[in-house]
Amino acid sequence: MDFLKINGGHGEGGGQIVRSAITLSCITNQPIHLENIRNNRKDKGLKPQHLTAIKILQKITSAVVIGAEIGSTELKFIPGEVESLELIEDIKTAGSISLILQVLIPAVSISQKKLSLIIKGGTDVLWSPSMDYTRYVLKEAYSRMGIEFSIEIIKRGYYPKGGGEIKLQVYPSKIKSINISKRQTDNLKLICTFSKISLKTIKEKVNEIKEKICKEKINLEIEIKEEEAIDSGASLLIYGIDNNSIIGVDSLFNKKTQNFDLDFNKIINNLVGLDEKLADMIIVPASLAQGKTIFRVKEITKHLETNLFVTSKITGCKYGIGKISEGFEVIIEGKSNSSIK
């Protein structure tokens, strides 16, 4: 068996290497051997949300998988052909559903298959995009690249019990490159969802955020929704979309400080095409789309650097990063794979 070896400890050495590697393994039909998984983390190895993603892809592709256990620092993944399926899954923790969707959506859609999935777990948890970020910000970027999906949130799930539930539909796609470089809109939208926290508290915090943003002569549309969850919690997304930019920033309600921990610079003073989180998420489809994907970001994170390196190793795509006055320009020359019809 001809495995492509990947060092899971490269660069930032986190879960993104695992997600990108298994996604691209399925799309390109390339067996991979991951070593040193999450080597730069205190709790090394695979966690429940990684295992859930691996096991769902195993079902979708009838893959042979060796080392899929909690805490495992080594994994061999031998994919078969991607198939259209209807599945019901449960992470059984507050593990991030949105990180699992980052694996499933491109793997199925770019392979020109369908997926209907009901999955339980954490919809809005630390260290991952909120579900609203996924269904508004990521969905917009993926749609422009030809990837179509829909999400129905049945129930929110916060830490520690999770228990959130969503329904995902993924559709076949023909991916394309994009060019997205400069924000042109002064219109933003704020969406806040909450459970078991007083509406008065939420409104106070949202109004504080509104005052800061409107001082910068930015228009802000606000939507506040109470949505049922097992645990108390709240999630907030601020985003802006125009023809040449897609930028979002999200935050969870910190119950200790009774506040949303938001970095306003990431949305107010960001005049480029993509936010740093979204830039990371479009690397996989960009690496396989014909032509050059060009985008601008305010900063190059270690996460983005690592993902570019790992993705180029698997697909053979070429990329370059250049400094500009507003931040950085990234160019990815995609390499269409023969397994993508």
Catalytic machinery residues: 303
Q: φ, ψ for residue 221 (rounded to 5)?
A: -90, 135
How is residue 3 annotated by DSSP?
A: P
Neighbours of 205 (CB within 10 A): 20
The answer to whether 112 and 172 have CB atoms below 8 angstroms apart is yes
> What per-residue string of b and e applies to 97-132 under the rule 16 or more CB within 10 Å gives b?
bbbbbbbbbbbbbbbebebebebbbbbbbeebbbbb
Report d(CA 147, CA 141) in Å as an integer: 9
How is residue 134 annotated by DSSP?
A: I
Report d(CA 330, CA 298) in Å as an integer: 11
- State whether the Cα torsion 272-265-213-205 is positive or negative: positive
SS3 282: coil
The answer to whether 257 and 286 have CB atoms below 8 angstroms apart is no
Which two structure tokens, joined as six digits, stand for 262? 């938001």
44: left (phi over 0), alpha (psi -120 to 50) or beta: beta
The answer to whether 320 and 331 have CB atoms below 8 angstroms apart is yes
